[in-house]
Amino acid sequence: MTRHLLYLSILLPITMLISCRNGIVNNGNAGNLPAGTGNRYASHFSLTRYDHYTVLDIIDPWQGASGVRHRWYLVDKENGDGHITPEDGRVVVVPVKNIVCMSATHVAMISALGMAGTITGVSGIDLVYDPVVRELVDKGLVKEVGYEESINRELLVRLSPDLIISYGIGGESVAHYSKLDELGLRFLYNAEYLEQEPLGKAEWIMVFGALFCLGEKADSIFRASEAEYIKIRDEVTKKGGKRPAVLLGLPWRDSWFISPGNSYISRLIEDAGGEYLWKDVISELSMPMNLENVYTRAVTADYWLNPGTAESLAQISSTDPRLSSLKVFRRGNIYSNNGRVTISGANDYWELGSVRPGLILKDIASILDEELFTGDSLVFYRKLK
């Protein structure tokens, strides 16, 4: 799997100073901080704005986390005193000028804000699709920094980033990143991959907007993405009709990891007019199942999406010959989300798709109902042959 926009703006009187304080309201002082609110979809971060700084809370930032909250004070050096020394969080001066990304999704949101030039390091550099960042890579301006146990700490120290945007698959990730902390390197967990709402993932651009003092621009990008998504979803709802059954994934070794019904992709399928086969299963994690259990339910599938790394129908049948007997296989209704992939394996589904989930939604809706969006080509998906 590839390793992988925003807060609601608050209008200020035009007489207020314009700087990184755009969108910041005076809620008091740092002595009595409320929990940040204002997100419309995202549940893993909050932003609370004050006169000269913003409080960013990252909430339950890895799978299985419960009650974990990391607090950051984003201090506007130009307009603040720059000397906040809180006991319950960490301080970073904004706007950040030098950043390292541990996921291509982070790259996409930074690039969308026009700040690709601040990226000096990336984990999994071959998996970056963004053409602007790829050009920086080719010029040697963006370095490969490695991942977890293979992180190049010496390089990170030389790059001296203002912030490392990391992510944690589980609690064990804490140990890897704590070693960076010992070197004086700041790392901020990004939990967008845990968001169950497609627009919740997209709303994380608001975090990057706060880091770069581009809150208004981030808000504009997100509102456009939100409007696009809702328009497509409403067109699907208006069309109505029977909801085709959708299968996801592909067995890996001896297990088929099933996304739960409360997952990001399940919501996309629902909003696109489909019925995910495991829509009633609620879980915080993907669930390993044996092929026999999946096959029993898969016989009813009308469409099959995201079949792992399979590039053809032949590759699917070679995984297990029984799969070729499924109705959905015989009808050829199998679509992979690798329609925009580079030779090195970078997939724009995880980059542009994270900023504009409406494009993914439209693809899936078009697949499930050929009468919708006729004449428009698929962006991220392609039919396997």
- Dump pLDDT digits (tens) for 66-96: 999 999 999 987 765 556 767 778 899 999 9
pLDDT of residue 254: 84
pLDDT at 16 over 50: no
Helix-helix angle 215-239:357-368, to 10 degrees: 10
pLDDT at 138 over 50: yes
Across-strand partners of 303?
246
At 15, the pLDDT band (50, 70, 90 cuts) reads very low
Q: Which amino acid is at 218?
A: A
Q: CA 352, 308, 60, 85 torsion: positive or negative?
A: negative
pLDDT tens figures, 209-233: 999 999 999 999 999 999 999 999 9
pLDDT at 9 over 50: no
Residue 364's H or E segment, with its range, is helix 357-368
Share of the chain above pLDDT 70, in %: 87
Lowest mean pLDDT among 149-153, 271-275, 326-330, 353-357: 149-153
pLDDT at 33 over 90: no
Which residue has better confidence, 162 or 19? 162
CA angle 138, 190, 284 (to 5 degrees): 125
Alpha helix (H) ranges present in 63-138?
104-112, 131-138
The SS3 of residue 286 is coil
How large is the average pLDDT for residues 29-50? 74
In whole angstroms, give the CA distance from residue 191 to residue 196: 11
Which residue has better confidence, 193 or 85? 193
Helix-helix angle 131-138:104-112, to 10 degrees: 110
In whole angstroms, give the CA distance from residue 207 to residue 197: 16
Residue reference for tokens 């945007």: 165
pLDDT of residue 63: 84
Lowest mean pLDDT among 6-15, 129-138, 206-215: 6-15
Contact present, 324 and 317 (Cβ < 8 Å): yes
Provide the CB-side half-sphere exposure for 239 (13 A, CA). 20
> Which residues, in sequence order, are CB contacts of 265 under 8 Å at separation 6+?
248, 259, 276, 305, 306
| Radius of gyration from C-alpha coordinates of the chain | 22
pLDDT tens figures, 309-349: 999 999 999 999 999 999 999 999 999 999 999 999 999 99
Contact present, 110 and 118 (Cβ < 8 Å): yes
pLDDT at 175 over 90: no
- Return phi, psi of residue 97, to 5°: -115, -15
Which residue has better confidence, 80 or 32? 80
At 200, the pLDDT band (50, 70, 90 cuts) reads very high
- Return phi, psi of residue 251, to 5°: -65, 145
Q: What is the largest CA-CA distance in the chain?
A: 70
pLDDT tens figures, 89-134: 889 999 999 999 999 889 999 999 999 999 999 999 999 999 999 9
In whole angstroms, give the CA distance from residue 99 to residue 372: 41
pLDDT of residue 184: 87
pLDDT at 23 over 90: no
pLDDT of residue 114: 98
Which residue has better confidence, 61 or 284? 61
Residue 38, Cβ density class (10 Å: 0-12 exposed, 13-18 middle, ≥19 buried): middle
Over the chain, what is the mean pLDDT?
87
In whole angstroms, give the CA distance from residue 299 to residue 292: 11
